[in-house]
Amino acid sequence: MTVTEERQDTMLAARRAMIDSQLRPSGVNESWVLDAMLSTPREDYVPETMRAAAYIDRAIPLGNGRMLAAPLVQGRLLAESRPSLDDKALLVGDGSGYLAALLRPLVGSLEVIDPSGAGASGEGGYTLLVIDGAIEVLPDALADRLSENGRVATGQVLRGVTRLAVGRKVAGKIALLPLSEMGIPVLPEFAAPKRWSF
């Protein structure tokens, strides 16, 4: 066995351990989520120096203030977004990142925008919006890109605590329902405006 083959076997074992010790015990049991995460090498989406830690159960720094969320966060986000091949999906995150690689084969089409550009207006008609991180506020320009009855899956910051949240656009408005507390990397681009207080 070559060094490369041995490394691939080690990483495959780490992916299986991630599924058995992190995802399944925490309620991520959808076969399509587990298949996607088993077949997508997470180590390819982290800096070279972090490859050995690609499957740890915490966020990994990617540089420039960005983080790769823990496997459980992305597994739950994927499961709660319930993607289908009928979806025209918009991902706020890294187009060449791990979540994009997981989501792309599960939807009809996928556009990815960087968080820094999420406040700008753009093409609409999306049926699914997935935000790879926790937000305090959802910009109107981003909400406007979602079609009526379109779905949202994101992290949400409520009183300093991050939670997984889902929502739907109804009568032109999006309301997010917090599901569970999770350690989700916060996206500073979605911070609420600071208010003056005593």
Q: How far apart are CA 77 and CA 117, in angstroms?
A: 21
Task: Tell me which residue range forms the domain holding 155.
Answer: 3-190
pLDDT digits (tens, 9 = 90+) for 56-115: 999 999 988 889 999 999 999 999 999 999 999 999 998 889 999 999 999 999 999 999
| Count of domains observed in the chain | 1
What is the DSSP annotation of 120-148?
A: S-----EEEEEEEEEES---HHHHTTEEE
196 domain-assigned: no
CATH number at residue 143: 3.40.50.150
pTM comes to: 0.91
Alpha carbons 3 and 8: distance in angstroms, whole number: 9
